[in-house]
Structure 1
């Protein structure tokens, strides 16, 4: 295995065709998502340097990619992180491999580079939103610990996927409903019968770039209205966040990986869903609801259409992403634990940084509990960084 460090946007873009040949677990690990993130958050930030690790086999074929960058922090020093992290809230971070057979060699090459560059290229590693059952990342952690580095896992929010074709059943709407509670089934059937079937509720899904441009301002507007009603700012009002998602949504749409839809009630925009999709799953990323439409269950109705549309296209998983909001359980979702991996050299500075991190998290959590916010969060929300 041969590892090379990709340090420029142009060089990373040149890998796109090979990148697509890797096993990409979700659209959040695709070039459309991660390149857009770097363009919005990293390319013009003097504190950030692209530092993505590309692994090739003896024939020169790209068999692995660790999409990393380095952020210079005043106290912690240079921190090795994963593209798409932070306030943009990318879920299911991992090392990308071409095949399962390539994975051990790719992870070993990445681990060797991380160990060899400790204290030089980086002083701290912070890989967030790692699924607890991610084999590649768990293997990486073991190799880093064996290489003499201090590794530490901190619980993250985790995601909430729902299998809509449970127990090997046919992927039909009725079979999915059978997995939900009796009360939930009754409500969903009632909404379908009284609102969608009568035409009181209609849904427009973006099919073209013109559609996307028309619906995007509605997403921003309804998201802001909903967040302000809850006492929080709209995340799309942050310029880099908005730029990232405008770039990513345009590119994802071109690849058939975007679900952007507006639900209208009596001809008025009531809710918007912004989701990502691949061959097997739909990922409910963000949305917005008009305050007047809350009492008419517009959010649940819009979510129902998202699930119906996914099943009709052969997608059998509804991933409600990170955040522990109770409503997710009503859709049959189960918690998929995740964590943030911290790695430091085993030296005095590393020990001090570990202590400072623990003190910061303790203070942050006390403040959150005092404010009544707890540790909840959803994809795309401005959650504190541990």
Structure 2
């Protein structure tokens, strides 16, 4: 194994196409590790040194990548995965399935020559090989490893039909969902979805306005840098076929907006916005239900509500999946 320290994104042949093929072959094959998301995040939020590592096997094939950036810690530099815990729901090593151990061994050897106090990996899916491998490899590298649950992502395994989905809900949840869908009919609901860059761009202003209005604190979260990141990432992901921006009209106004990621057999509810004055018609529940129905009709296997255990997610029948914070520290 040979580890290359890349001077910039796309250097040494590890370009967008190669990167995304590598992500697709990884155990953690998620949109947050794609070239589109990673580079958009770096342009919006990147600061401090970038430690961009690529790993090649003896045949010269790229088999792993680890994009890290450096922040100041109280006891020395801390390395984190590019993508940012505030906006990425899963981050991890990018490595060909089955080769994670040799890739991690090579990377730990290369990282020995970099000044850092801690490697802070988060949020890592609990089923990733990373926590177990780093726990096994840490002591030989003079490191201490700690893994702890950081959050949960409620996830819904999708059946083949909408009727089967409804039948799988508890009696109470099924009754509540049907009641809210019927009540919204009085407001003549109409749903629009955009999946092209042009359609996503056209709906983004509406989405952002609803996002900022829907909850205390969201306007503060969606500052100028966050908006720039969202706009760039949304268009780039849509161009790759991985994004959908949904709008729900009630009467003559947009009452809800959802930004979903459609990637690798999973639809993920990434972000949302709602009109507070339309709360009586449960616009968020209505629009989420329509995105689930659409995902089933289009053959997706999973619907991921992503991080956060808000009760409404479990009302749709989701079950929790742990995400971890894995920390390596020099001892």
Same fold (TM over 0.5): yes
CA positional deviation for 1:142: 2.3
| 2:244 counterpart SS class | strand
Q: Which residue of 2 aligns with 1:163?
A: 157
Residues 1:77 and 2:76 are matched in the alignment = yes
- Which of 209, 222, 226 does residue 221 from structure 1 map onto? 209
Cα 1:193–1:296 shift into 2, 3 Å = closer
2:99 pairs with 99, 102, 108, which one? 102
Correspondences of 1:1-386 after superposition (within 5 Å): 1-11=1-11, 14-22=14-22, 23-24=25-26, 25-42=29-46, 45=47, 48-71=48-71, 73=72, 75-88=74-87, 90-98=88-96, 100-114=97-111, 116-117=112-113, 120-165=114-159, 171-192=160-181, 195=184, 200-228=188-216, 232-235=217-220, 237-346=222-331
**Aligned-residue CA RMSD (Å):** 2.1
Residues 265-287 of structure 1, C-alpha deviations (whole Å, 9 max, x = no match): 11210000011111310111110
SS at 1:87's partner residue? coil
Partners of 1:175 and 1:233 in 2: how far apart?
Answer: 35
Paired with 2:264 and 2:145, the residues of 1 have a C-alpha distance of: 35
- Closer/same/farther in 2, CA of residues 296 and 94 from structure 1, 3 Å limit: same
Paired residues of 2:261 and 2:270 also in contact (CA < 8 A)? yes
Secondary structure of the structure 2 residue equivalent to 1:59: coil
1:364 maps to none
Residues 258 and 186 of structure 1: is their aligned pair in 2 closer, same or farther, counting only changes over 3 Å?
Answer: same
CA distance in 2, matches of 1:54, 1:298: 45
| Paired residues of 2:183 and 2:281 also in contact (CA < 8 A) | no
Q: In the alignment, what sits opposite 1:353? A: none
2:180·2:281 contact (CA, 8 Å) conserved in 1?
A: no
Q: Structure 1 stretches (4+) deviating beyond 4 angstroms?
A: 190-196
Is 1:276–1:282's contact at 8 Å kept on the other side of the alignment?
yes
Alpha-carbon displacement from aligned partner over 1:140-163 (angstroms, at most 9, x marks no partner):
232123322122234311211111
Residue pair 1:54, 1:64 contacting (<8 A) in 2 also = yes
TM superposition score normalised by structure 1 = 0.79
Deviation at 1:339, TM superposition (A): 2.0
Contact preservation (8 Å) 1:95, 1:137: no
Contact 2:134-2:145 at 8 Å conserved across structures: no
Distance in 1 between residues matched to 2:157 and 2:12, nearest whole Å: 34
TM-score w.r.t. length of structure 2: 0.92
- Cα distance change of structure 1 residues 308 and 5 upon mapping to structure 2, 3 Å threshold: same
Seen in structure 2, the aligned counterparts of structure 1 residues 224 and 125 have a Cα distance that, compared at 3 Å, is same
Over 3 Å counting, the alpha-carbon distance change for 1:101 and 1:243 in structure 2 is: same
Maintained 8 Å contact 1:220/1:288: yes
